[in-house]
Amino acid sequence: MKIVPAVLTDRPDELKRMIAQSEGFCDLVQIDIMDGKFVPSRSISAGDLAEIKTSLKLEIHLMVDEPSKYLEPFKKAGAKRIVFHYESKEDPADVIRKIRALGMEAGIAINPETPVSKVEKYFKDIDILLFLSVNPGFYGSKFIPEVCDKARAVNEKKDRPVIAMDGGLKAENIMMIKEAGVDLACVGSGLFGKGDPKENYRDLAEKLR
């Protein structure tokens, strides 16, 4: 299982700092984007991200009502993969087509209460399935362990996408997540909350050995 820094902020200066810190220990970072509608919080914009030059692969996690509006701006900002929510107001198949047409990888995220059965028909068309293991939109929310059962069920399927999990991932639950068959563990406050993110990353990686 790979640990992926999850960056959630509404401040461009903090975005720049967190990406720079991440460059010291990984090659992929997830940027959380919020519109103040799908979730109450707001975050940085594609314009803020476009100002930053980085060698990292950028994955954009869209917690927004209308994902299609964000695709081209984030493509221009350097995104390689877009993950949008099944619970958004748009048809998932249409959003996937638009992401592919822009030459990016596509993923679907589902909230804790959404059954996997709702998105299984899209597995052949997506690169990644992201399980939200918290109620989305707030930094440091409480982990919901039952989501691991859903990840475990998808892991048993033959032609499954990459499995990712995001929300409340920390040292005390990282092995539970790995054992559920998760490929990418997206960690926010567990890396950036306290102390040095690089040291926090090393501590988590050590637990996975």
Q: Which two tokens stand for residue 176?
A: 């539970």
**Strand, coil or helix: what is 78?**
coil
Q: 35, 48, 166, 183: which one is catalytic?
A: 166
Q: Is 48 a catalytic residue?
A: no
Residue 166 is a catalytic residue: yes
- Identity (one letter) of the amino acid at 96? I
Choose, from 13, 32, 94, 183, the residue flagged as catalytic. Answer: 32
From its phi and psi, is residue 108 left (phi > 0), alpha (psi between -120 and 50) or beta? beta
Residue 3 · residue 26 · CB < 8 Å: yes
State the DSSP string of 158-203: TT--EEEEESS--TTTHHHHHHTT-SEEEESHHHHSSS-HHHHHHH
**Looking at the annotation, which residues are catalytic?**
32, 166
